């Protein structure tokens, strides 16, 4: 039996493909960037055809680098930038408009109108989300309203909507599959996450015809088969999840209370809450976790079953148990290092920041709040702007660099503290350790400072490409490469565990100083 998995990792700035073996090790990787399109301020688009072309090219390149043929691949897994919205013609496969990217803010007037009508509580209760232009539903409404002929064609059943995963599956199968997984569907403002079904009341509010929607399926499920002419053999598509839920799965966070933080351009922290739908009192959102196909109600000792599932569309009941996570996002994480390089010109390459920061023993009292685009969770202060405070005559660029690096940890600590408060309020325990991934997690100084602030271990796995690994795990479960979650948990390996060394009193003092700096960053914008 084939024991290799091909993971397609379609991101915001590049498409990547990674081949994993049965031990979850990387065999080969290929990556290609694609254009970012900015038609006007606040608008961000991608060319759907370019997304597909770069993704297919990297899949072929990864197989070639691995020295493998398509017949050696057991299954394909897909993970993707979430919320990005596409609409295409079912007959021709042609997009009716560019993909509207998750960062795009054009739908904010629609969201403001929904909030003014007092509808946010309804959306929050059914979807776990706040009403924001970040999510797919209002982007889809914009396309149907603004693209000539789109609404009439949609109501006639001629158009298909999907997030990037749906678009890739449509292309891979030659239009035979129009589907999405529950984790991607949960980011649309249109899915009732309690039932894993599209919600007619929300669809009516957003004026979205049901005819455009994909079928909703479990994250680990045989969706269909890729056309043989694409890669050299017809391969099953066995796993799909949005990027952050996929990373949570790749970190083996399968149980309530386990949490991960992805350190990228921004930071995304998710904590698994099990089957409990828990709304946050601390500025976080509730989202669906990646969900293997487990018949409801599952036995606690039952392994994850293999095979297909009944799609949750129309009036049909779902055949798997909904699982959830609390999520918080930091807008500026690793991007602050890019600002040091490109804006302040303090370093020539991003990799030089650790050496510069370590040239001083601490930040010398400098605090850096990188609110270049406002502050995300748990603050939700869109009016905040970047601030460097605590400067003295003795402050140097090294102190600023160290403060910039530490700002990533401060923001993440504020997120985890919010998660722990929510966990305790619901009768659970505070987060006991934080699993980390993403490009910036290789920075030892940052990871140690993160552990010091949190007072809990920060754990870096041997494979930090956990977003793609999660998609591979989901695909491997559906085709029998792995038998269940216990096997995956045993396979997850620690590369380094950063233990806290700072006295808790000192850590609390630092967090108080951080909160004071955050307050200063919002002063000028206050009314």
- Does 311 score more than 80 pLDDT? no
**Cα 458 to Cα 445: distance, rounded to the nearest angstrom:** 12
CB contact at 8 A, 216 and 196:
yes
- What are φ and ψ of residue 411, in 5° steps? -65, -40
**Cα 215 to Cα 196: distance, rounded to the nearest angstrom:** 10
Least confident of 36-40, 242-246, 498-502: 36-40
Average pLDDT on 289-313 reads: 46
Average pLDDT on 31-52 reads: 89
Strand partners, 10: 15, 80
**Cα 8 to Cα 30: distance, rounded to the nearest angstrom:** 10
Nearest to 484 by CA among 323, 294, 223: 294
Helices 504-521 and 397-425: crossing angle in degrees, nearest 10, is: 100
Give Cα separations from 222 to 153, 197, 374 (angstroms): 30, 19, 41
Could you give the count of Cα atoms lying within 13 Å of 173 in the half-sphere of its Cβ? 20
The pLDDT tens digits for 223-266 are 999 999 999 999 999 999 999 999 999 999 998 889 999 988 78
**Cα 510 to Cα 402: distance, rounded to the nearest angstrom:** 14
Helix or strand holding residue 488 (H, E): helix 485-491
**Cα 337 to Cα 342: distance, rounded to the nearest angstrom:** 9
CB contact at 8 A, 511 and 413:
yes
Rg over CA atoms, the chain: 22
Provide the pLDDT confidence category of residue 41 given band limits of 50, 70 and 90.
confident
Nearest to 437 by CA among 417, 465, 458, 472: 465
CB contact at 8 A, 242 and 270:
no
**Cα 420 to Cα 356: distance, rounded to the nearest angstrom:** 33
- Does 377 score more than 90 pLDDT? no
| 290-294, 372-376, 429-433, range with greatest mean pLDDT | 429-433
Chain mean pLDDT for the chain: 88
The pLDDT tens digits for 74-120 are 999 999 999 999 999 999 999 999 999 888 888 989 998 999 999 99
**Cα 525 to Cα 274: distance, rounded to the nearest angstrom:** 39
Question: Does residue 361 sit in helix, strand or coil?
Answer: coil
Give Cα separations from 110 to 87, 98, 206 (angstroms): 19, 20, 9
- What are φ and ψ of residue 508, in 5° steps? -65, -35
Q: What pLDDT score does 302 carry?
A: 36
Q: What pLDDT score does 1 carry?
A: 58
Q: Which residue has the higher pLDDT, 303 or 476?
A: 476
- Does 499 score more than 70 pLDDT? yes
Instruction: Give percent of the chain above pLDDT 90.
Output: 62
CB contact at 8 A, 156 and 204:
no
**Cα 431 to Cα 415: distance, rounded to the nearest angstrom:** 11
User: What residues have CB less than 8 Å from 381, skipping those under 6 apart?
Assistant: 371, 374, 375, 518, 521, 522
- Does 306 score more than 60 pLDDT? no
Is the link from the previous residue into 69 a cis peptide, with omega within 30 of 0?
no
- What are φ and ψ of residue 224, in 5° steps? 165, -165
Strand partners, 260: 270, 435
Q: What pLDDT score does 293 carry?
A: 66
- What are φ and ψ of residue 145, in 5° steps? -80, -35
Nearest to 413 by CA among 459, 458, 358, 361: 458
Nearest to 435 by CA among 303, 277, 268, 224: 268
- Does 138 score more than 60 pLDDT? yes
- Does 303 score more than 60 pLDDT? no
Q: What pLDDT score does 265 carry?
A: 78
The pLDDT tens digits for 111-133 are 989 999 999 999 999 999 988 88
The pLDDT tens digits for 257-291 are 899 999 887 889 999 988 888 888 888 889 999 98
User: What residues have CB less than 8 Å from 448, skipping those under 6 apart?
Assistant: 458, 498, 501
């Amino acid at each position: 039996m084939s024991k290799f998995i091909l993971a397609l990792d379609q991101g915001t700035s590049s498409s990547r493909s990674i081949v994993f073996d049965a031990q979850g090790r990387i065999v080969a990787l290929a990556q290609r960037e694609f254009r970012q399109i900015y038609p006007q301020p606040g608008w961000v688009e991608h060319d759907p055809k370019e997304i597909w072309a770069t993704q297919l090219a990297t899949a072929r390149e990864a197989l070639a680098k691995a020295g493998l043929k398509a017949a050696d691949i057991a299954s394909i897994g897909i993970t993707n930038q979430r919320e990005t919205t596409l609409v295409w013609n079912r007959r021709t496969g042609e997009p009716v408009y560019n993909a509207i990217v998750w960062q795009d803010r054009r739908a904010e007037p629609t969201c403001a109108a929904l909030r003014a009508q007092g509808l946010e509580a309804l959306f929050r209760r059914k979807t776990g989300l706040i009403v924001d232009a970040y999510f797919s539903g209002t982007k889809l409404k914009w396309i149907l309203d603004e693209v000539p002929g789109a609404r009439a064609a949609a109501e006639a059943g001629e158009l298909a909507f999907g997030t990037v995963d749906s678009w890739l599956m449509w292309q891979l199968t030659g239009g035979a599959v129009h589907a999405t997984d529950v984790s991607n569907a949960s980011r649309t403002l249109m899915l009732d996450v309690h039932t894993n079904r599209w919600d007619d009341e929300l669809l009516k509010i957003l004026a979205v015809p049901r005819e455009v929607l994909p079928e909703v399926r479990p994250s680990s499920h045989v969706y269909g088969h890729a056309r043989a002419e694409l890669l050299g053999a017809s391969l099953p598509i066995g796993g799909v999840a949005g990027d952050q839920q996929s990373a949570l799965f790749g970190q083996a966070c399968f149980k309530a209370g386990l949490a991960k933080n992805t350190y990228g351009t921004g930071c995304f922290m998710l904590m698994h809450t099990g089957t409990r739908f828990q709304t946050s009192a601390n500025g976080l959102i509730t989202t669906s976790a990646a969900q293997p196909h487990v018949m409801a109600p599952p036995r606690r000792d039952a392994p994850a079953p293999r095979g297909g599932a009944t799609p949750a569309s129309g009036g049909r009941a779902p055949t798997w148990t909904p699982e959830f996570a609390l999520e918080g996002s930091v807008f500026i994480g690793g991007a602050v290092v890019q600002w040091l390089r490109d804006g302040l010109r303090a370093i020539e390459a991003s990799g030089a920041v650790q050496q510069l920061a370590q040239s001083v023993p601490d930040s010398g009292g400098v605090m850096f709040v990188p609110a270049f685009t406002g502050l995300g969770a748990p603050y939700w202060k869109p009016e905040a702007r970047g601030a460097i405070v605590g400067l003295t005559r003795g402050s140097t660029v090294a102190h600023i660099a160290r403060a910039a690096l530490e700002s990533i940890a401060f923001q993440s600590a504020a997120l985890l503290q919010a998660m722990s408060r929510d966990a305790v309020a619901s009768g659970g325990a505070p987060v006991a350790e934080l699993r980390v991934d993403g490009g910036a997690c290789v920075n030892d100084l940052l990871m140690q400072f993160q552990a010091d602030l949190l007072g809990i271990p920060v754990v870096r796995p041997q494979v930090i490409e956990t977003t793609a690994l999660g998609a591979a795990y989901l695909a491997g479960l559906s085709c029998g490469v792995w038998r269940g979650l216990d096997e995956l948990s045993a396979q997850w390996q620690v590369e380094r565990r950063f233990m806290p060394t700072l006295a808790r009193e000192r850590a609390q003092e630092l967090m108080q100083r951080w909160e004071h700096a955050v307050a200063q960053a919002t002063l000028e914008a206050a009314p």
